[in-house]
Structure 1
Amino acid sequence: MASSRILIAIAVLAMVVAPAFAVEHIVGDEKGWALNFDYQAWSEGKEFRVGDKLVFKYPEGAHDVLKVDGAAFQQCAAPATAEALTSGDDVIELATPGRKWYICGIGRHCEAGKMKLAITVLPERVESPASSPSGDEAPGPNSSSAASRIALPKYAAWMAGFFGIVFMIMV
């Protein structure tokens, strides 16, 4: 009986902790999705992976977010079929690897205000958070070690502690 409780506790813990490895990228950090910000510079050095999320924060009605292709990105012109995100707190889950392009379709915000973001999404993470860099790679801000890529949500530590206590009670 105790062994089945242990297995259940481990399964529940795995379901809670696994999604914690996704990174939520606030586009533009504290500046948000705004005019006259260099989003290319912002994205440099960041690693975007399948499962991560882009969060576009801006005053509702002031901007929008359009996912476009490379040609539309270069021309700052969204196809008529492009659906604009307009909530001011738009979340886009990066579901597939490859190049992704986003622009603001309001007025001339893309051209004049540089409201455009191009990123490359890599395959999802497969390392464990405890893994360390290989011997030929020095850890640092651009290191590909799992620890430098994983941003745990604020509640993850609390959840891990909670399920640890539940696990101890069940044993």
Structure 2
Amino acid sequence: MRRAEIHHPIHAAIDDIWNAGHTPRIQVDARRDDVVVPEFVKTKWGARLVLDLDASWPLNLTASEQGLEVDLAFQGQVTRCTLPWASIYVVLDRATGRGIVIESHLPKDETLQTHPERPALREGVESSEASVEAPAPVPAPASSGEKPESSDEEAKRRRARFKVIDGGR
């Protein structure tokens, strides 16, 4: 099977998740002027718009040098949405929780260094694979015979799934 032309690293990450037979989940800063989604979505979700790009839905997705255009349903109404690459700052595999955070695309008030629910990046990290806390699926409850993981162990496990890339290009 011939792979479609890849326009951006975010596009490649989405494509890789689809090729694995899974659903990509992206997080978008919908407050940006160049993002086209219904106004009530911008108001309600702001910088934390989470979208599942489920291939079983007729997405009519197109990718270009500028970003994604996709048909999405909000409150039962399908809308053609425009999502510039710079508005997308998290891409993860909904099934595995693995993904990427594009640090340079993070909304200013959502940066990893200042967000109270996310730990700061480690000081002096030069690698593009710094561990960070990012959205991840909620783990299934432990079976009755298993000892539940401590919150520190769970946090370390989730952080290991993500890498930060700088710039997205």
TM class by smaller structure: under 0.3
Choose between structure 1 and 2: higher strand proportion.
2
TM-score, normalised via structure 1 length = 0.26
Give the number of the structure with larger relative contact order, counting CA–CA contacts within 8 Å between residues 6 or more apart. Answer: 1
Structure exhibiting the larger radius of gyration computed from Cα positions: 1
